[in-house]
Structure 1
Amino acid sequence: MTPERVPPGAVPSGVVVLTDRRVARGALDQVVAGAVAGGARWVVLREKDLPRAERAALAADLRSILADVAGTLIVAGPDPLDGDAVHLPAAGPYPPPTHRLVGRSCHNGTELNRLTTEHYATVSPVHPTGTKPGYGPPLGTKGLHELIQVSPTPVLALGGVETPEQVTACIQAGAAGVAVLGALMRAKDPTRTAASLTRAFQEAVTPKPLKPGAESARSPTATKEGP
């Protein structure tokens, strides 16, 4: 079964914020607001240890922040907390729920092959990271690219993505975006960090114009030989 199509722009891309209040430098809503001010438009709310009522209140606060920029809050786990977007673990549930937007964490080809109606997947860990232990050695951008080739859905690169150069490499490997936790949660200036990472994404997906006078590689005038 192939994923149901969703409108353009409805699948996460660019810089996707993953929350972790335990490592955040400030109040979680303030850190997220800073990242949103820097260009982030997608946020995945984790904080699974909180009671549902407290987590739902936090979800409402973050949705309010995102509403100002037409952003989207995705909730980690099967409970959308009064929303319509969830991100599921690789372990389940199967089949996935029928929310407007459903993503799933994947770490290898076997897990990607289980995807059915999910709209996107994260693939991790791309680089060494303390937040994704127990999933084997880092994939690197080569391993990321190989998994993207077999994925039936768009892929977000996750795990140890902290610099603009790493963002660029992940997009060049075929990722639709990058999911970032530590670099934003621990940032002294989340707005500046998010802006830097977002700029790298935008530059990576923007076609480079030919320099004046340059010829296409397939142009007849680009070769020395005639017809």
Structure 2
Amino acid sequence: MIPRLVLLTDRSQLRLGRGLVRTVRECVDAGLRAVVVREHDLEPGQRHALLSTLAAIDGLTVVSSRIPDDCAHGLHLAAHQPAPADGCWGRSCHSRADVARAAGQGASWTTLSPYAVSASKPGHGPALPASAWAGHALPVLALAGIDATNAAAAVAAGAHGVAVMGAVMRAEDPAAVVAALLRELPNTPRRSSPPLRSPEQRRRDPGC
């Protein structure tokens, strides 16, 4: 099961002098249990090394955005990408119909956006209606414009949890933002093994 809080990375939004690995480590110490690694501009070898480093952090589930990688515990696809043949994967969705299609294709989770106005993607909207979040066949993470002031409301509306990028990446103290978000979300474990299967487990048994 995907955790209630998932961090999406974008190192370009970090404050000057902050490194991505350090930031993720601090967020894990604050309770973060899953990260979707974007960083699509990196060379393949650099991105693989980043995923490998993050995957070695105890208790952290690492999901690769768009590009499969053996170091990752899962894969998160853009809305237009074809579904993989096996493994644990999720998809970016923008409507209830998108979520239903992803569930039918075998996705294990989706993000659904926009929940609210996003500072990371100005003009991305309008926000989805309150009826968008409940009654799905798989866990749905509310994305866009999420922070500690509205995370609980997203779950109350029916989302499984929230996916956050800018509120954490742009923060002076990203770990404090993670801690504040987790206080607003239900049933957050202190630390556990990655909830998605490792690459070795996926090769032995492609099911989630």
TM range (shorter): 0.7 to 0.9
Q: Which residue of 2 aligns with 1:28?
A: 20
Note the C-alpha offset of 1:152: 2.3
Query: Any idea what the Cα deviations from partners look like across 1:101-124, whole Å, max 9, x if unmatched?
Result: 210000012312311200011000
Given the two structures, how large is their TM-score scaled by the length of structure 2? 0.81
Q: Which has the higher contact order (CA 8 A, sep 6+)?
A: 2
**Aligned amino acid, residue 74 of structure 1:** V
* Cα distance in 2 for residues equivalent to 1:77 and 1:157: 19
Runs of 4+ with >6 A deviation: none
Note the C-alpha offset of 1:189: 1.3
- Give the alignment's Cα RMSD to 1 decimal: 1.9
The match for 1:159 among 133, 139, 144 is 144
Q: Secondary structure at the match of 1:156?
A: strand
Q: Identity across aligned pairs (percent)?
A: 37
Decide which moves more: 115-124 or 187-196.
187-196
The runs of 5 or more residues in structure 2 that have no matched partner are: 189-208
The match for 1:48 among 32, 40, 43 is 40
Q: Does 1:188 align with 2:172?
A: yes
The higher radius of gyration belongs to 1
Note the C-alpha offset of 1:133: 5.4
Q: Does 1:72 align with 2:61?
A: yes
Query: Any idea what the Cα deviations from partners look like across 1:73-129, whole Å, max 9, x if unmatched?
Result: 000014134334000011111x33311x21000001231231120001100011111
Q: Which residue of 1 aligns with 2:86?
A: 98
**Aligned amino acid, residue 143 of structure 2:** L
* Cα distance in 1 for residues equivalent to 2:63 and 2:9: 11
Given the two structures, how large is their TM-score scaled by the length of structure 1? 0.75
Q: Which residue of 1 aligns with 2:185?
A: 201
Question: How many aligned positions are there?
Answer: 184
* Cα distance in 1 for residues equivalent to 2:3 and 2:170: 22
Q: Which residue of 2 aligns with 1:208?
A: none
**Aligned amino acid, residue 19 of structure 1:** T
